[in-house]
A = this chain, B = another copy of it.
Amino acid sequence: MKDFYPELIELGERAKLAARRLAFTSTAQKNQALLAMAQALIDNQAEILDANSIDVQAAEAKGLKKSLVNRLRLTKEGIVDMSQALKEVVNLPDPVGEGEFWTRPNGLRIQRTRVPLGVVAMIYEARPNVTVDAAGLCLKSGNAVILRGGSEAIESNKVLTKVIAEAAERSGIPSGSIQLVQNTEREWAQQLMKMNAYVDVIIPRGGAGLIQTVVQEATVPVIETGTGVCHAYVDREANLDKAVKIVFNAKTQKPGVCNALETVLVDESVAGEYLPLIGAEFEKFGVEIRGCSHTCLLLPYAKPAVEEDWSTEYLDLIISVKVVSGLDQALDHIYKYSTKHSETIITENYTRAQRFLNEVDAAAVYVNASTRFTDGGRFGFGAEIGISTQKLHARGPMGLKELTTVKYVIFGEDQIVT
């Protein structure tokens, strides 16, 4: 055992003990707790808003970027939304206790049943709504959760966690099921990532830097989420109206999210016609274009792209554009620069559409649709705890089922192996 901070060990032990009981807490009881948590947010909104305004003032005083301050800020409406999100989790089916069943020739009856993962640690940035969302999804799936949010949101997170954890406990949920790491120093997160004896999985949510740190440092299994350098390939047989509509939507509808578009690849035979069309739309909307040399010839307002652009997730009104010789070069570009999140081809050609779908390695591959659809709600799964861009355990939007594992339950008479 490493020298973990005693407070973290205590947190871990409380979480493990809670998880042991939560694993067979009934769906009805978990739903009752979720409703109580939703109500408690409303009942305690004054205290929550007070704590949040301390965080917001500190963030503004520190000169935090305005978009980050906005993510941090809570309003009455925001609290209602968080409360509503918990109520929606009530309506999602509980995956725990579902499964298959078969009988072996020797009479052994084997049940493959879904069970909670155990203890989930969430490491995330200064977004207080993640505190509530993660607690609700972990509770519904029978997991204890250890929350470690960004330091800028600490006062908000303390109050939010207290309010929902107390409400859950009053509904009979084991104490320790929802806990916050109250210390936001870096070392505490680093230790949490190595507490294999207490934590079953770590889910980092946030920017590429945060996620890579967790991937590199954690010894606890990690589900990588989020980074998306998403591409659209405009094929030589694309319907150019669709190509303008889809590419514009994927870039501009909500540029700060992981499924937003970052790069457009255009077949050279339609570049002369297509790029001025999409370029005009982008220019009107204030989207900065960073183009390859061919693009810059066609679009005088484009800036020249540098190598780094092809691997950058802008999360902003910036797009990189490259003219390619055809599908093969597009596939090679995507193979080299994709973060394996979401990729789309715009084409009317059946065979090239199929090749793109088969050959691109990503969580979600599209024909003639916006990459912005990669989302638990839009796929029909309900709320998501993140979007996995790795291949183990979960890929794409992760809902309640992805917060569970399986257990084999075997009923025998007196079977032995011979």
Contacts and interface: CB of A to CB of B under 8 A. Distances in A.
A267 to B, nearest CB: 18
Contacts of A246: 414-416
Interface string A403-415: 0011111111111
A266 interface: no
Given A20-B335, A118-B391, A359-B20, A215 B223 contact: no
Contact of A361 (B23, B219, B242, B411): B23
Contacts of A110: 379-380
A257 to B, nearest CB: 10
**A102, A254, A361: most-surrounded residue (chain B CB, <10 A):** A361
Interface string A388-418: 0011110110000000011111111111111
A367 interface: yes
The DSSP consensus for interface residues of chain A is mixed
Given A378-B104, A378-B417, A392-B405, A412 B369 contact: yes
B414 A108 contact: no
Contacts of A391: 117-118, 200-201, 221, 405
B409 A357 contact: yes
Contacts of A380: 102, 104, 110
B416 A20 contact: no
A196 B380 CA distance: 31
A417 B24 contact: no
Interface string A212-251: 0001100101110000000000000001001001100110
A91 interface: no
A200 B362 CA distance: 13
**A110, A391, A396: most-surrounded residue (chain B CB, <10 A):** A391
> Which 3 pairs between the two chains have the least Cβ-Cβ distance?
A369-B412, A249-B416, A372-B417
A362 B215 contact: no
Contacts of A108: 369, 373
Given A245-B414, A393-B393, A408 B361 contact: no
B219 A411 contact: no
Given A246-B414, A412-B369, A393 B396 contact: no
A178 interface: no
A370 interface: yes
Contact of A370 (B216, B254, B357, B415): B415
Nearest to A19: B361
A365 B409 contact: yes
Given A104-B378, A108-B369, A365-B410, 7 more contacts: A20-B361, A23-B359, A221-B222, A245-B416, A370-B415, A373-B417, A393-B393
A70 interface: no
A112 to B, nearest CB: 8
A223 to B, nearest CB: 7
B408 A396 contact: yes
A415 to B, nearest CB: 4
A368 interface: yes
A359 B278 CA distance: 59
A253 interface: yes
A395 B407 contact: yes
B222 A215 contact: no
Contacts of A216: 219
Given A24-B358, A215-B219, A359-B24, A249 B417 contact: yes
